[in-house]
Structure 1
Amino acid sequence: MYTLYIERDSFLHRLDPRVKIISSLLGILAMILFNSPYLLFALFMLLSLSLRFLGKISFKEQIKVLKPLTPLIVITIAIWPFILDPKTFGLFIGLGYALRLASMAMITFGLLMTTTQRELILGFIKLKMPYEIGLTLTIALRYIPTLFGLAQTIIDAQRSRGLELEKGSFFSRIRKTVPILIPLIIASIKTAHELSIALESRAFGASRKRTFLHTIQMEKKDYVALIFVFLLFGLALYARYQLGIGYVKLY
């Protein structure tokens, strides 16, 4: 019900999942290299435009998946002025880390929005990852939007019963989250139990050798895209360590 995958006929959707998984990992590593808000903002916009034109994911859909991260992004920006002096410099660095967080989230969500769960599992397995680990990672990524959807449903239900989350002091609003957290934890445990029953009913783990109805195969465009991604990552390493671009010394 709460899957992030958006079915489109696009270049990113047609890429081999192994290419997208490797590209996502390298993209996240590249974001860790930099902390300058200027460069990270440019990279964030480049990611957004790539999803828009290569993945046919609209800007509205991108904002929708990033919206739950807004409180974390705001906290990231607000906390750095108390860590670094002067406070304007701390705010500057905070913007950089917030953009890094948003970019890394955009890369992860971009992978989930352009790749089905079946393709993700096959991609992990073809990369020589044990099936159990690949399935675990895929389920974890899959249930992030599910838990978010459950939380939104519980919040709407409690608001309909008169719960006012926006009013009161900071500690008062924290106490008001208890009627949300308890049902969310119970629903999460129930979901995990139902998932374990579904896996057992399908004889998960009964045989070490697995067969698949569908398979994946690298094509020419996949190799070209993978080479291009490695070149971009090499360029990022060169810019960071040889040219010193995109990194601001904190102390």
Structure 2
Amino acid sequence: MRYFMHNKELSPKLEKRIKDYFRKIRKLELEVKFLNKNYYGIIDVESFRWLSNFDCFNCLTNCCVQFPYEFNKKAREVILENLKEYDSLTKAISIMKEEGMTEKEIKSSIENDAMLIPKEFENSVFDRCTCSSVYIDKSLCAIHKICIDKGMSLGEIIDTKPLWCSLYPLELIIEEENLYIFVPTSGNNYLSMNDCDFPCMNIEKAKSPYFRRENPIGFQLDEYKPFIENYYNVLSYIFGKKFCNSILESLNIKINKDIDEQYIKKK
């Protein structure tokens, strides 16, 4: 048993905690096709009811606190084709030049290095994803913003960004042919690999005057919706509509499936 995109097996203690948890909850079990492979999906269906508000375009909290697991060829091409905007958003090019790299070396690093920077720069020169950026009054993914500016569709953006980033904060745990799936909530976040204790996933934090001092706009309380509603289009593209519709039916939730609130909204 291991977390998605991790090769390290979980400890016997953690594996037992996960299985004990899934044994006692209401589950939705169905075939799930993920990355061209069929799994037996074991889903914590009630967790998809968790209230969320991914108001990323009004957020000043930088949640990209670590490096992703991989950048695909499309992501690298988007950056190389838009170096000026990428540097304007992230200052990554300027920082590498300050470190003595030539433009040719920088382009080679973006094209070939795992994290778009020389290995020795990871967790030293850069302490988080190089695509993490603060744009005026927003914290954004630079790749995501460039894709939106280029008019890409939701599917094109998902195919360009690191998959782990598009799935976040959803948790996937693989055990041979089984795929355990859950949304981190106050009841199961002790099983979560991801840090997701942010206002987008915690309505109580959005009520806090401390948060409002730093984020005076956005995150309106009446805009919090079940996770499955906010992520319907994203998860439908990744797992298929049958996956999402089965969850909606199980939870007896009706939504407007034509509206996308997260990926292609631009303010």
Same fold, TM-score > 0.5, yes or no: no
- In our comparison, the structure showing a higher alpha carbon Rg is 1
TM-score (norm 1): 0.21
